[in-house]
Amino acid sequence: MMRRLIVFIFLFIFPFQKTFACDCKMAGVSTESIAKYELIFIGKVVAISGCDDEKAKVNFSVEKLFRGKCFPATDVKFDCATDCQMSFAPGQTWIIYATYEKYGEPKVHFCSYSRQQFPSEAEDYNTSVHGMTFSQELTWLEKNLGVQKLNEKDVLMEQHHENIRPQGYDFVWYYVFGLLSLVAIYFITKKFLK
């Protein structure tokens, strides 16, 4: 009898738990329902990385920022190895609702309000959950959150951190100067250490 009960549990109960694992309980989009999201923007998918350690990155060209801080080109992490993984393709336009995993590393979840823009409003299955169409939600975000300024990359700071290699005769001059400096240090220390 006990053996039958164990077989019943494994055959019938565990598979159903996996089936409902991606069932998201969501209310319509409102100021309260999106309060937990630290980064909200609309952007176009540029590229997607490979799946590494159950996470992947999608690179967005951000068109409008509604909440948080980000650059015009922003990477967002997403789950790529479970049944609840999101699916992105280059050229798609998305409204992204993300939270920060660490500083500067936003992550989007399957059960977030993130949604893709479809060619036809009739194809958009998110309309019933969100309570509005994609274009209505975009207008709502602009009205209620406003459009924020994107961070600009400081080109001078980027160059400051680059490893600049000498070109042409500069390498020879640096080499000769370094060699002469070592010879001078050798003779000075030899004179004072006598």
What's at 97, amino acid-wise? Y
- Clarify whether residues 134 and 186 are in a common domain: no
> Taking residues 41-68, what's their average pLDDT?
92
Please indicate, yes or no, if residue 13 is contained in any of the structural domains: no
Is pLDDT above 90 for 166?
A: no
Please indicate, yes or no, if residue 151 is contained in any of the structural domains: no
- Clarify whether residues 89 and 116 are in a common domain: yes
What CATH number is associated with residue 127? Answer: 2.40.50.120
Q: What is the pLDDT of residue 169?
A: 78
- Clarify whether residues 136 and 168 are in a common domain: no
Q: What is the pLDDT of residue 194?
A: 67
Please indicate, yes or no, if residue 40 is contained in any of the structural domains: yes
Q: What band does 96 get if pLDDT is binned at 50, 70 and 90?
A: very high
- Clarify whether residues 118 and 173 are in a common domain: no
Global confidence as pTM: 0.68
Q: What band does 107 get if pLDDT is binned at 50, 70 and 90?
A: very high
CA distances from residue 170 to 93, 141, 166, 174, 179 in whole angstroms, order as listed:
48, 55, 6, 6, 14
The domain in which residue 43 lies consists of 25-144
- Clarify whether residues 106 and 185 are in a common domain: no
Please indicate, yes or no, if residue 99 is contained in any of the structural domains: yes
Is pLDDT above 90 for 64?
A: yes
Q: What band does 45 get if pLDDT is binned at 50, 70 and 90?
A: very high
CA 146 to chain CA centroid, Å, is 22
Q: What is the pLDDT of residue 61?
A: 95
At a CB cut-off of 8 Å and minimum separation 6, what does 93 contact?
42, 43, 44, 45, 63, 116, 117
* Domains of the chain: total: 2
Please indicate, yes or no, if residue 152 is contained in any of the structural domains: no
